[in-house]
A = this chain, B = another copy of it.
Amino acid sequence: MAKRHQVVILGGGFGGLAAARALRKDPVDVTLIDRRNFHLFQPLLYQVATGSLSPANISAPLREILKKQKNARVLLGEACGIDLPGRRVLLKDGDVPYDTLIVATGARHSHFGHDDWGEFAPGLKTVEDATLMRRRIFLAFEAAERETDPEKERAWLTFAIVGAGPTGVELAGALSEIAHDTLKHDFRRIDPSQAWILLIEAADRVLPPYAPDLSASAQRTLERLNVIVRTGTTVTGVCEDSITVQAGSRTEVIPARTVLWAAGVRASSLGKVLAEATGCDIDRSGRPIVEPDLTLKGHPEISVIGDLGNFSHQSGRPLAGVAQVAIQQGRYAASAIQSRLRNPPLTAFPAFRYHDRGNMATIGRAAAVVELPWLRFSGLLAWLTWLFVHLLNIVAFQNRLLVLVQWAWSYVTFNRSARLITGENPFPLDL
């Protein structure tokens, strides 16, 4: 029996998983390698960070997803290098041979080169990021309740969110609901609704990639939720108890104990590994520049998909780091393999083309913006659309049910039952 074509996929996110599943009927062996044993539904990660959902509600074990796909195996491992001539992925503890390699290891958040801000301004990419953010948010209210100095109390009750993309807007809306509704009767000394929630954005409007009228609508909704929106404002410093911002020539130091980072991203370390191994170009976020067919120049056996790659052939700008792009690229990479395995192989496989089915962001209770190719709308209908689309796309059916129950419950009661402060608490309370 001839050895089957070996496809190795690095990363079990939207892109890697889409590629693995698209190959389920093909005469190939698929090896999916991830550092974690679960797929994470990142679009709802902010709901873990704000105490609405538990990590398991938006996760599905990779082995469970692929258990019935007999040509796929899952390895828990971390890739640290690539042996190009030997066609092997080097793991920290072993190596795995490939005929085709699909790299889909995604991105981390980045503090624009200020790594020292990371300690004070956590980002939101992993389950641990989310539980840390949740801890910071709810610990801040607890610390405010214990604080006797009014100025320090004000700093504990000031929340600054950096970046008004979908994640920043979603966090701001959820924080407003926490302060005004969830915690309404919870404290005896402080009034949580006195919290300041600042949303800081360098561009001149919130949700910069969306149409201007949707940005305006989102900003109106945020302001109705008492979120203080500061556009045209850049962050020039973050430390333990304040954030420094600049708008025009005016610099301001805002006392704030909780800074949440929803701005820049940086490619995972595999971007650099690929650049060093293949000599491909990377952009300033560390993303390899891919060819029109998502492969690396001179290496048709290596595809880079999802957040990790910079694909600029369609509009001149890199595609956004959203699930839809990753899924379509994963399926494309799989069909490129199918085409190459065909006998005779198709020589002229068409370039990847992203079909934008629309974007949406939720802003809070019963408010969202939806931008479809042929229509855009906001408000309650947009929110229902957002709910429906997200519920439908959660991988595991059980989670769909659990998330629905929790959303319905939270909507009626304003409760956020998953607001656990986990990890040992330091006393006096601190970050």
Asked whether any CB of chain B lies closer than 8 Å to the CB of A399, the reply is yes
Choice from B61, B405, B429 contacting A76 with Cβ under 8 Å: B429
Asked whether any CB of chain B lies closer than 8 Å to the CB of A54, the reply is yes
Min CB distance A180 to B, Å, is: 15
Choice from B139, B185, B186, B427 contacting A77 with Cβ under 8 Å: B427
Copies in the complex: 2
Choice from B60, B94, B413 contacting A417 with Cβ under 8 Å: B60
List residues of chain B with CB within 8 A of the CB of A131: 422
List residues of chain B with CB within 8 A of the CB of A75: 145-146
Binds B, one of A33-41, A194-202, A356-364: A33-41
CA of A62 to CA of B241 in the docked complex: distance in angstroms? 27
Asked whether any CB of chain B lies closer than 8 Å to the CB of A421, the reply is yes
Min CB distance A118 to B, Å, is: 15
Q: Which residue of B lies closest to A93 (CB)?
A: B428
Min CB distance A24 to B, Å, is: 15
Choice from B35, B57, B78, B417 contacting A61 with Cβ under 8 Å: B417
Given A64-B186, A185-B68: A142 touches B54 (CB 8 Å cut-off): no
Instruction: Tell me if A146 and B415 are in contact (CB < 8 A).
Output: no
Q: Which residue of B lies closest to A419 (CB)?
A: B61
CA of A37 to CA of B51 in the docked complex: distance in angstroms? 13
Q: For window 62-85 of chain A, which residues contact chain B by CB distance below 8 Å?
A: 63-64, 67-68, 73-78
Instruction: Tell me if A78 and B420 are in contact (CB < 8 A).
Output: no
List residues of chain B with CB within 8 A of the CB of A396: 417
Asked whether any CB of chain B lies closer than 8 Å to the CB of A349, the reply is no
CA of A44 to CA of B151 in the docked complex: distance in angstroms? 42
CA of A429 to CA of B33 in the docked complex: distance in angstroms? 14
Given A54-B56, A145-B75, A186-B64: A427 touches B91 (CB 8 Å cut-off): yes
Asked whether any CB of chain B lies closer than 8 Å to the CB of A418, the reply is yes
Instruction: Tell me if B401 and A185 are in contact (CB < 8 A).
Output: no
Asked whether any CB of chain B lies closer than 8 Å to the CB of A112, the reply is no
Hey, what's the 0/1 contact readout for A246-269 against B, CB within 8 Å counting as 1?
Answer: 000000000000000000000000
Instruction: Tell me if B60 and A427 are in contact (CB < 8 A).
Output: no
Min CB distance A96 to B, Å, is: 11
Hey, what's the 0/1 contact readout for A180-198 against B, CB within 8 Å counting as 1?
Answer: 0001011111000000000
Taking residues whose C-beta sits less than 8 angstroms from the other chain, chain A's interface range is 35 or more
Asked whether any CB of chain B lies closer than 8 Å to the CB of A100, the reply is no
Choice from B36, B63, B93 contacting A186 with Cβ under 8 Å: B63
Hey, what's the 0/1 contact readout for A120-162 against B, CB within 8 Å counting as 1?
Answer: 0000000110010000001100100110000000000000000
Given A37-B419, A56-B54, A146-B94: A78 touches B427 (CB 8 Å cut-off): yes
CA of A417 to CA of B425 in the docked complex: distance in angstroms? 28
List residues of chain B with CB within 8 A of the CB of A91: 427
Asked whether any CB of chain B lies closer than 8 Å to the CB of A354, the reply is no
CA of A420 to CA of B37 in the docked complex: distance in angstroms? 7
Q: For window 1-60 of chain A, which residues contact chain B by CB distance below 8 Å?
A: 35-38, 54-57, 59-60
Q: Which residue of B lies closest to A40 (CB)?
A: B420
Min CB distance A135 to B, Å, is: 10
Asked whether any CB of chain B lies closer than 8 Å to the CB of A115, the reply is no
Asked whether any CB of chain B lies closer than 8 Å to the CB of A236, the reply is no
CA of A415 to CA of B68 in the docked complex: distance in angstroms? 14
Given contacts A78-B427, A396-B417, A398-B417, 4 further A-B contacts (CB under 8 A): A61-B419, A63-B186, A75-B145, A92-B427
